[in-house]
Amino acid sequence: MKRVFIPLIAGALALSACQQSTAAAAENVVRAPVAERPAKEGKGLKTAVFAGGCFWGVEAVFSHTKGVSSAISGYHGGSAATATYAQTNTGVTGHAEAVKVTYDPSVIRYDQLLRIFFSVVADPTLNNRQGPDVGPQYRAALVPLSAEQRTVAAAYLKQMKASGKWKRPIVTPIEKYRKFYKAEVKHQDFAAKNPNHGYIRRWDKPKVAALKRLYPVVYRANFKRN
């Protein structure tokens, strides 16, 4: 499908990307609070799923985060029969574009990933949309894969709501894990393979730049490819 993107400067530019949409205001970068309830996940690699709009940007940010060993774009929430890019973009499959993140908690904890996610990736006050992308397939959602992650996610959302950092209500939900379906090859490492793509330059490179600016200690200059 084709997305129509009207930038906030003179001139219109049509881009092919996650979904057809109209103009959107620039996304806000918010320094989310340090988690009061840190994750206690023990040793060994852990995995969690994050939905936060078009998966290109979610994948790009986490691929530039130290301690993340892989960030895989895919679909979560629907069935195997509809786990394709074209069908998910209809908005009726139950799927969200999502990213499965595998990380080393001795380097970066789940609560720290949550902080990054809500600081530079997803606006937690938006329902069924992120940035220029509109529809339930672009919803923001946390998908914990363990009881500890679920406890930490719930505590962090509660903390966010009480923090006053956001002017509108926090609406990002915690979703029960269903099967995660890996997206088509062309969507993997998309920002690294297509750095000059109009959508990447307009929406996703600023997210990576914000990660570097806000959290330089955990920023990794090289894109960790899958």
**Residues classed as catalytic:** 54
Write the CB contacts of 119 (distance below 8 Å, at least 6 apart in sequence).
Answer: 29, 30, 31, 32, 210, 211, 214, 215
Tell me how far apart the 2 most distant CA atoms of the chain are, in Å. Answer: 52
CA distance 224 to 60: 9
CA distance 30 to 57: 16
Query: In the structure encoding, which two tokens stand for residue 210, read together?
Result: 């914000």
CA distance 41 to 201: 35
